Amino acid sequence: MVRVSAIVVAAGSGTRFGTAKQFATLRGSRLVDIAVDAAHQSCDEVVVVLPADVEWDGAPVAASVRGGAERSDSVRAGLAAVAPDTEIVVVHDAARPLASSQVFDAVIGAVRDGADGAVPGVPVSDTIKRVDGDRVVETVDRASLVAVQTPQAFRADVLRRAHASGSDATDDAALVESVGGTVVVVPGEPANLKVTNERDLAIAESLLSEANRS
Amino acid sequence: MVRVSAIVVAAGSGTRFGTAKQFATLRGSRLVDIAVDAAHQSCDEVVVVLPADVEWDGAPVAASVRGGAERSDSVRAGLAAVAPDTEIVVVHDAARPLASSQVFDAVIGAVRDGADGAVPGVPVSDTIKRVDGDRVVETVDRASLVAVQTPQAFRADVLRRAHASGSDATDDAALVESVGGTVVVVPGEPANLKVTNERDLAIAESLLSEANRS
């Protein structure tokens, strides 16, 4: 029985690398393959969501589906392909290759413990200001702020209900919040960056080097 | 005549590197030396603020002074040592070795153009949530948020008045805002990270490598 399903979102079409970022290579592996592998370690099945013109050629997965125009469309496409009786759905961005199995287990565990959703969060280390044009209007109190990452875990029924609301929010947790779901934050990992350009890829390389040294 | 004075804040005592971070070495140069050098390129004089037990042994500077317990104490110590008739004071963290002379010039230029203060800001790329304990209470609209960096430039009289208010805010711009000063945001640099641990230092190395390649 499938209790935990992962949706690896790899449907973006940004091509700053000459290829979509999720197919860029880190240490000889494509980001999407790293993400699928990490999801397999903590979840019972993996569904990968791809751009319309890409065939899946990585490790065996439960399903590979085409994404949509918006990220929320892609998550909905993935949701339609997970096992119907799955209990927990984990949504993970293929562009976050450094998420550990510990963080997968932490978000899944928090949902098992009763939350409708769980997201990894790290403290906001920068000073944050709210601006109007180029004028600062407020220095935001960051003590109660977290920057959130993926993987994010949700009760399957709540995530389905949230996505059925038709919103195109890019953040699944925000959708779950919007239908009244309880979302908790578990400790995220500072190294779990989102790779969006060559600079981030170089940073990911150096983080991996450091991790291997320690 | 001194029109633009820089205060390089290097008074922290964090010792995660075995040395205070501002004395860690990047490409053969200490972070504090890189910061002083960058400040010299855009400012008429540089005052460096050091831990109590450190003597300045870098490039000639207008003054080196001892910092205080809080960052604001250190900035105040620097302010007391800048030329009395300086017009603009630039405050820069020694732990940001990748700030370019363009960003120094941009914040100085914005103050010359009439702002009381100017700070570099970059868009907030992460989803930000407000939490109460581990419970998410709000997904913050990040469209109007920026993460701010140093160098930050201020009209000298306004910064002095702001610091005379005795607040211990860690952010000079927030002090200036609190006394009614107008602070504007100029485009910051994604690479201008703050080095607080070995991981950040490795990232800075890889950013420099990338910059030299392009």
Is pLDDT of B14 > 80?
no
The answer to whether B26 faces chain A, any CB pair under 8 Å, is: no
The interface predicted TM-score of the complex, written ipTM, equals 0.88
Q: Are B46 and B10 in contact (CB under 8 A)?
A: no
What span, in angstroms and rounded, lies between the C-alpha atoms of B207 and B195? Answer: 12
First to last CA, chain A: 38
What span, in angstroms and rounded, lies between the C-alpha atoms of B174 and A136? Answer: 9
DSSP A22-67: GG-EETTEEHHHHHHHHHHHH-SEEEEEE-TT----SS--SEEEE-
The answer to whether B184 faces chain A, any CB pair under 8 Å, is: yes
The residue ranking higher by pLDDT, B91 or B205, is B91
The answer to whether B90 faces chain A, any CB pair under 8 Å, is: no
Token couple for B20: 């205070």
Determine whether the interchain pair A184/B136 forms a contact, defined as Cβ–Cβ distance below 8 Å: yes
The answer to whether A143 faces chain B, any CB pair under 8 Å, is: no
Give the pLDDT of residue B115.
97
Residue of B nearest to A119 (CA): B136
Q: Determine the 3-state secondary structure of A212 from DSSP.
A: helix
pLDDT bucket at B13, cuts 50 / 70 / 90: confident
Determine whether the interchain pair B206/A210 forms a contact, defined as Cβ–Cβ distance below 8 Å: no
The answer to whether A189 faces chain B, any CB pair under 8 Å, is: no
**Tens digits of residue pLDDT in A9-41:** 999 876 555 677 888 899 899 999 999 999 999
> Between A174, A198, A209, which is nearest B202 by CB?
A209
Ranges A37-46, A172-181, A195-204, B107-116: which has the least confidence? A195-204
> Between A127, A149, A191, which is nearest B148 by CB?
A127
B120: which strand partners? B186
Q: Determine the 3-state secondary structure of B148 from DSSP.
A: strand
What span, in angstroms and rounded, lies between the C-alpha atoms of B119 and B151? Answer: 7
pLDDT bucket at B200, cuts 50 / 70 / 90: confident
What span, in angstroms and rounded, lies between the C-alpha atoms of B18 and B21? Answer: 8
Chain B residues in contact with A209 (beta carbon < 8 A): 202
Average pLDDT over chain A, rounded to whole? 91
Chain B residues in contact with A183 (beta carbon < 8 A): 129, 135-136
pLDDT bucket at B18, cuts 50 / 70 / 90: low
Chain A residues in contact with B207 (beta carbon < 8 A): 199, 202-203
DSSP B121-163: EEE--SEEEEEETTEEEEE---TTEEEE-S-EEEEHHHHHHHH
Determine whether the interchain pair A135/B182 forms a contact, defined as Cβ–Cβ distance below 8 Å: yes
Determine whether the interchain pair B207/A202 forms a contact, defined as Cβ–Cβ distance below 8 Å: yes
Q: Are A22 and A58 in contact (CB under 8 A)?
A: no
The answer to whether A182 faces chain B, any CB pair under 8 Å, is: yes
What span, in angstroms and rounded, lies between the C-alpha atoms of B24 and B179? Answer: 36
The answer to whether B70 faces chain A, any CB pair under 8 Å, is: no
Give the pLDDT of residue B189.
93
Chain B residues in contact with A205 (beta carbon < 8 A): 206
**Tens digits of residue pLDDT in B52-75:** 989 999 999 999 999 998 889 999
Chain A residues in contact with B209 (beta carbon < 8 A): 202
Give the pLDDT of residue B100.
94
Determine whether the interchain pair B190/A199 forms a contact, defined as Cβ–Cβ distance below 8 Å: yes
> Between A121, A136, A148, which is nearest B185 by CB?
A136
Give this prediction's pTM.
Answer: 0.84
Chain A residues in contact with B171 (beta carbon < 8 A): 127, 139
Q: Are A4 and A90 in contact (CB under 8 A)?
A: yes
Residue appearing with tokens 């702002």: B115
Chain A residues in contact with B170 (beta carbon < 8 A): 127
Q: Are B159 and B79 in contact (CB under 8 A)?
A: yes
Determine whether the interchain pair A128/B139 forms a contact, defined as Cβ–Cβ distance below 8 Å: no
**Tens digits of residue pLDDT in B70-82:** 889 999 999 999 9
Nearest Cα residue to B59 out of B48, B49, B74: B48
The answer to whether B143 faces chain A, any CB pair under 8 Å, is: no
